[in-house]
Amino acid sequence: MSINQIGLEKKDMTAVIEQLNKLLSSYHIFYINVRGYHWNVKGEHFFTLHPKFEELYTSLQVQIDEIAERVLTLGGTPLHAYSDFAQNSSIKEDKGVFNGNECVRGVVSGLQELIEEQRKLSGIAQEAEDQGTADLVDGYVQEQEKLIWMYNAFLG
Ligand SMILES: [Fe+2]
């Protein structure tokens, strides 16, 4: 039996690290989608949505770093190439979106995807007795659930 630097069994970490790298990929694709919404949004809600999307991608950037550093803490190597992110993301690239409501729908569906992925990861982490990873992503889920309510309220 072999344990990593934080007392968790190395063989149990393989699945957790793999899921974290998939999540890291989804975050990167979602991040660049949200930057696209920030840049391209047009219309009467420009001054509301442009800064809201900036707020969102800025927090995604912080979470991206936390996820990658969690992979390292567990003894893995985070993915760090766009080709890998594109291949492993559960969120698809969203190009050429200009309409405000369409941008918001893209945000909502991206958040829903992240939540689903994180709930799954939380279960895998808890099975491996990795409460640290479970707590990290559970916190993100709670935050993103609230964001979905707010963005859906915007849509009416
Ligand atoms: Fe900007």
Asked whether the whole model's pTM tops 0.85, one would answer yes
Q: What percent of the residues of the chain are helix, what percent strand, and what percent coil, each to the nearest 5?
A: 75, 5, 20
For position 12, what pLDDT does the model report?
87
Ligand 1 mean position, distance from CA 100 (Å): 16
User: Would you list the domain boundaries of the chain?
Assistant: 10-155
- Which phi and psi angles does 148 have, rounded to 5°? -60, -45
Residues belonging to the chain: 156
CA angle at 144 for the pair 141 and 148, rounded to the nearest 5°: 135
Reported CATH class of domain 10-155? mainly alpha
Rounded Cα distance between 6 and 76, Å, is 13
Separation of 47 CA from ligand 1 center, angstroms?
12
- 55 CA → ligand 1 middle, Å: 10
Measured CA to CA, the distance from residue 36 to residue 53 in angstroms comes to 9
The parts of the chain modelled with pLDDT lower than 70 are: 1
